[in-house]
Amino acid sequence: MRHIPAIATLAALALGGCATVPAPLAGNDFAPVTPQQAVSQHASNARVRWGGEIIKVEPKADATCFEVLGRGLYADARPNRHDGNDGRFIACSKGFYDPAVYTRGRDLTVVGQMAGTEQHQVGDYNYTYAHVDADQVYLWPKREHPVGDGAWPYYNDPFWGPYGGWWGGWWAPPIVFVHGSHHHH
């Protein structure tokens, strides 16, 4: 039984580590407004932390603009794919971000200032996007499995894992075998 404290410590580290916000995205001075709300309320100049799935990347002369399908964020600021969408937004950041790296479908979180709205066509529809001047652009590592892979809907949720329950999937504690001393007479 002497291994139980080690297992408890590992479990605490694993669970505690999952809500760490990457340094470029840290802070709590963000306006609690979604891209959809920002458009309908004509919000501007607010500092926001938004994320979602990349739809399109457009490098320009001195900046790169991302069209993003907005999603709610987990505690670690990663977009929640199981959440409904929060509307589309455009985030532009100074510099070149390679579209071959920042590919469609990847998770992206940005931090920046709201800068009004802009209109673009989505099919035949004239869509109004919230616009963010992003000073931080964070591309998340690729997920282990495509979302919706398999029948279990929470396959990529870090708390539930592919098998369900707190100890399902990635957060399973190590299995420890304790061998007692066996004496043969």
Q: Which two tokens stand for residue 29?
A: 């001075």
Cα separation values, 97 from 8, 59, 115, 126, 177, Å = 42, 7, 20, 26, 49
Residue 93 lies in a domain: yes
Q: Which pLDDT belongs to residue 29?
A: 87
Indicate whether 114 belongs to any domain.
Answer: yes
Whether pTM exceeds 0.75: no
Looking at residue 90, its pLDDT comes to 97
Which domain does 122 fall in, by range?
23-139
The total number of structural domains in the chain stands at 1
What kind and span of H or E run contains 122?
Answer: strand 107-122
Q: Quote the pLDDT of residue 106.
A: 96
Q: Is residue 152 part of a domain?
A: no
**Within a domain: 27:** yes
Is residue 127 situated within a structural domain?
yes
Residue 82 is predicted with a pLDDT of: 83
Is residue 173 a part of any domain in this protein?
no
Would 159 be classed as within a structural domain? Answer: no
Average pLDDT for the chain? 79
The reply to whether 43 falls in a domain is: yes
CATH number, domain of 88, equals: 2.40.50.140
With a cut of 50, which residues of the chain have pLDDT below it? 3, 5-17, 149-156, 160-172
